[in-house]
Amino acid sequence: MDSLWQLGWEGWFSLAIVLSCFLLFAFSRAAPDIVTSGALTLLMVSGVLTPADALAGFSNPGMLTVAVLYIVVTGLTETGAVGWIGPGLLGRPRGPTHARLRLMLPAAGLSAFLNNTPVVAIFIPAVQDWAKRHRLELSRLLLPMSYATIAGGTCTLIGTSTNLVVNGLYTERLQGEGLGLFEPIWIGLPVTLIVLLFLVTVGDWLLPRRQPAASTYEDVREYIAEMLVEPGSPLVGKSIEAAGLRQLPGLFLIEIERCGQVLPVVSPQDVLRAQDRLVFAGILDSVMDLQKTRGLIPATNQVFKLDVPRPGRSFVEAVLSDKSPLIGKTVRAGRFRNRYDAVIIALARNGERVAGKIGDMVLVPGDTLLLETRPDFVAQQKNSRDFLLVSQIGDSHPLQHEHAPLAIGIVGAMVAVVSLGWLSMLEAALLAAGLMILTRCTDGRTARRAPDWQVLVVIATSFGIGAALEKTGAANLLAGGLIGLADGNPWATLALVFLATAILTAVATNNVAAVLVFPIALEAARTMGVAPEPFILTLMVAASASFATPIGYQTNLMVFNVGGYHFYDFVRVGVPLTLLVGLVTVLVVPLVWPF
């Protein structure tokens, strides 16, 4: 009780700030980066933190690694290499639960040997594409993926930086050899299995269900698009269904033209051949996905006659006016490419399905054209009488599939040099990002726009908030007070070590929690006259078991925005999961490492 009064106003103020953050996360719609930035500002202007302490998180290697990895991932997305990961690693799920399991198993397995941050960074765009093609709910995939990588990281000494930090402290304090590379697997594997089992069973009730905005397709423009199966395409020899051309939402394969003959009734089991001309009808998003599919190219050879190389082009929507000189002419006769240095790759007409090839369609006022063109087309044509409306489609542009093997090779090399201990994760990520740009797997403009600044700001400011808890003694008070409740019982003390560490990990960061609780756990073991190993291994798991809040672990923050999650989603799924992992840890650890 005396320690409560010794805390000082700074400690109480820091605790109040942290509590306020949690309340705002849970009960308001305030953006997380605004909340944590405001909290850090109050801690700095009140004098609890110096500006250097408050802003140290912005130079933290972990935060910078996440930022650079966003750039590395653009090399995979811009080359279409992400499309290789989904079918190759994740396959075709039989249902939502099977999909969750197929995603979590490789994520957990990779995280046992790799830093889980790059694993999640690489998986996110692949899972987005995979979920869209198989009509899966993204919100029920990304959170389990993050949790699986966290659990998988506990299986080896190099699976997470927390294990290395705790082992370093253990070696330094006890002057011993430390733990072996695979020694944590005796607790890491049971923890991983219980996490996976929880998420494929109880997760069906607890995981949020949120339908994406594009889940309904009524009253939307339906484009007609023609695509050609390239010679040597990976799609050759695959059925329509196996190629993933039946799963895209809001898209229908109308017919296949093969050797001059039209196959008007297309079966999912029909096998694709080189030079097949595929005619699709569908919504814009799915038509855009077709343009990014490896092995498919626009059926018009006009695309390859444009002045600008494909990677430097843009996709644009344009609506024809009644003043256009193209009205009443076919697309082919209108010589669209010669006139505008742009090519029509899809056409929509008042919700009607237009029959025939795009080149033979007679243009009428109000036709909406999907164009592949140079980047300055919008600026040049936005005031033209020929078009009622001209707009670029986001930042979409044709992909460089020929560079995909190179992009995958760069990522593989990044992972290899980190695994071998030749470079730190930050150093390897910086080199990989530079190589992605130098080899033109991505460009400078895309790289600059890649980082998710909201995620990065939350990570950086969370380090400052954690530093306030550490500096004022509030974190030490929380941990020591909980452990003091055990009254000398080793099992109870072990449980409270887990609980104290898990709480600190949720409000600060995993490494901060591990460093703060380590001396307390070690002293508790010495006082009771028991072996320290059970407490060391329990501390390792508890510091990594950050399931209860999005700010507790970087991978949780990385999926937070993409999955459209709320703060309460993590609480609802993460709190019971943390308690279950704690129970397994406290029961298993003393059996492997006796008191």
> Is residue 398 one of the residues assigned to a domain?
no
Segment of 173-177, 270-274, 303-307 carrying the highest mean pLDDT? 270-274
Q: Per the structure, how many domains does the chain have?
A: 2
> Is residue 435 one of the residues assigned to a domain?
no
Residue 107 near residue 469 (C-beta atoms within 8 A)? no
| Domain shared by 256 and 194, yes or no | no
| Domain shared by 233 and 371, yes or no | yes
Amino acid at 476: N
Strands, DSSP E only, in 32-83? Answer: none
pTM value is: 0.71
| Domain shared by 105 and 175, yes or no | yes
| Domain shared by 242 and 205, yes or no | no
How high is the pLDDT of residue 400?
A: 74
Is the pLDDT reported for residue 217 higher than 60? Answer: no
Q: β-pairing, 251-258 with 368-373?
A: unpaired
Residue 285 near residue 394 (C-beta atoms within 8 A)? no
Is the pLDDT reported for residue 495 higher than 60? Answer: yes
Select the more confidently predicted residue: 366 or 260: 366
Which of 373, 392, 411 marks a domain boundary? Answer: 392
Which of 392, 417, 437 marks a domain boundary? Answer: 392
CB neighbours (10 Å) of residue 470? 18
Which of 392, 419, 434 marks a domain boundary? Answer: 392
- What are the residues whose beta carbons fall under 8 Å from the beta carbon of 331, sequence distance 6 or more? 344, 347, 358, 359, 360, 361, 363
pLDDT mean over 116-120: 80
| Domain shared by 274 and 357, yes or no | yes
> Is residue 244 one of the residues assigned to a domain?
yes
Q: What phi and psi values does residue 337 have, to the nearest 5 degrees?
A: -65, -45
> Is residue 270 one of the residues assigned to a domain?
yes
Q: Two tokens at 251?
A: 């898209």
| Domain shared by 376 and 497, yes or no | no
Q: What phi and psi values does residue 78 have, to the nearest 5 degrees?
A: -70, -25
Is the pLDDT reported for residue 305 higher than 70? Answer: no
| Domain shared by 42 and 155, yes or no | yes
- What are the residues whose beta carbons fall under 8 Å from the beta carbon of 305, sequence distance 6 or more? 337
pLDDT in tens, 561-578: 888 888 889 999 999 999
Q: From CA 105, how far away is CA 208, in angstroms rounded? A: 21
Q: From CA 214, how far away is CA 219, in angstroms rounded? A: 12
Q: Two tokens at 110?
A: 């990779």
> Is residue 113 one of the residues assigned to a domain?
yes
Residue 212 near residue 138 (C-beta atoms within 8 A)? yes
> Is residue 439 one of the residues assigned to a domain?
no
pLDDT in tens, 373-402: 887 888 888 888 889 888 888 666 667 777
| Domain shared by 193 and 252, yes or no | no
How high is the pLDDT of residue 215?
A: 45
| Domain shared by 323 and 282, yes or no | yes
> Is residue 52 one of the residues assigned to a domain?
yes
How high is the pLDDT of residue 214?
A: 42
| Domain shared by 182 and 270, yes or no | no
Instruction: Kindly report which listed range (480-484, 504-508, 551-555) carries the lowest average pLDDT score.
Output: 480-484
> Is residue 460 one of the residues assigned to a domain?
yes
- What are the residues whose beta carbons fall under 8 Å from the beta carbon of 394, sequence distance 6 or more? none
pLDDT in tens, 139-163: 899 999 999 999 998 998 777 777 8
| Domain shared by 228 and 147, yes or no | no
| 365: containing domain | 223-392
Select the more confidently predicted residue: 211 or 188: 188
pLDDT in tens, 413-469: 887 887 787 887 788 889 999 999 999 888 888 888 888 787 788 778 877 877 787
How does 265-297 read in b/e, with b if 16+ C-beta sit within 10 Å?
ebeeebebeeebbbbbbbbbbbbbbbbbbbbbb
| Domain shared by 504 and 386, yes or no | no
Q: Which H, E and C letters describe 450-473, residue by residue?
A: CCCHHHHHHHHHHHHHHHHHHHCC
Assign residue 343 the CATH number of its domain: 3.30.70.1450
Report which of 210, 205, 209 is spatially closest to residue 577, judged by C-alpha positions: 205
Q: Two tokens at 440?
A: 């033109």
